């Protein structure tokens, strides 16, 4: 396999920048007229895969919405991963795991080793036990040509308490996270495999996002992030951004055609970001 960074660039070139979240919120199941149980989860998730995975570069299921149904929910997640990849999309599994030592390695084996039924092209991870705590994930991603998206600057109101705090060199913690990613991606072409999660609604930022890696920008669409916001926030790194939308797409369901058309419309909006 080629590196995740190479596959990421090729996917965005081929299908556009959009990342489609498949997040089976209880409220969305009800909007679709489905029961809030495993049968409703399966119908919702696999219909969303049918409507979105063949048309977007990246599909991003949020693991928690499957985990809440126990082992049968995880079985549905396994199908979402497999069928999304079969449809040609990269799968970014949103798990935001972060731990230390052998536990981090176990997470890496679960999500990044292709022999696992939960293997994805990339996962999200939290660096707030110290960036070095992610070393087993970094090493496993390299071994299997997978990717890692590390939380850097999120747009939730609680985030600044940690992300805007100052490290010993006086810079913000979020900037230190980006510095670590910059080191991991040195010399990689066309793009490194170690990315950041940066909200599309963070407002003004003076951080340097040119760390030669992919960027996941959640909050595009229904949560208020616009193409203009993405261009303003990321500047010269904007071609490496995959803006993520979930509710704006999923609320078009259960019509497969309506979800597809909305994904294509959003991708058209984003086309200018890639020149």
Active-site residue numbers? Answer: 96
Q: 3-class SS at 275? A: coil
Contact 205, 164 (CB under 8 A): no
Strands in the chain per DSSP E: 19-22, 58-61, 90-97, 122-125, 147-153, 194-198, 215-218, 241-245
CA distance 37 to 165: 41
Contact 74, 45 (CB under 8 A): no
Structure tokens at 240: 């490496």
Contact 190, 9 (CB under 8 A): yes
CA distance 105 to 77: 21
Pick the closest to residue 130 from 108, 98, 84, 86 (CA basis). 98
Burial of residue 61 (CB within 10 Å: 0-12, 13-18, 19+) is buried
CA distance 100 to 66: 24
């Amino acid at each position: 396999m080629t590196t995740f960074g190479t596959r990421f660039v090729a996917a965005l070139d081929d299908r556009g920048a959009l990342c489609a979240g498949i997040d089976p919120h209880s409220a969305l199941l009800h909007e679709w007229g489905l029961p809030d149980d495993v049968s409703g989860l399966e119908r919702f998730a696999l219909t969303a895969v049918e409507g979105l995975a063949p048309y977007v570069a990246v599909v991003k299921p949020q693991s928690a919405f499957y985990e809440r149904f126990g082992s049968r929910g995880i079985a549905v997640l396994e199908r979402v991963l497999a069928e999304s990849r079969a449809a040609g999309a990269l799968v970014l599994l949103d798990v935001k795991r972060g731990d230390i030592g052998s536990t981090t390695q176990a997470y890496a084996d679960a999500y990044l080793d292709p022999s696992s039924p939960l293997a994805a092209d990339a996962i999200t991870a939290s660096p707030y036990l110290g960036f070095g705590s992610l070393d087993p994930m970094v090493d496993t991603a390299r071994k299997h040509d997978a990717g890692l998206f590390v939380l850097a600057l999120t747009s939730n109101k609680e985030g600044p308490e940690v992300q805007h705090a100052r490290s010993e060199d006086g810079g913000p913690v979020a900037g230190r996270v980006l510095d670590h990613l910059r080191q991991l991606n040195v010399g990689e072409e066309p793009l490194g495999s170690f990315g950041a999660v940066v909200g599309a609604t963070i407002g003004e930022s003076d951080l340097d996002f040119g760390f030669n890696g992919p960027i996941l920008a959640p909050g595009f669409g229904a949560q208020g992030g616009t193409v203009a916001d993405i261009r303003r926030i990321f500047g010269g790194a904007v071609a490496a951004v995959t803006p993520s939308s979930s509710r704006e797409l999923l609320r078009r369901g259960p019509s497969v055609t309506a979800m597809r058309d909305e994904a294509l419309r959003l991708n058209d909006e984003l086309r200018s970001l890639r020149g």
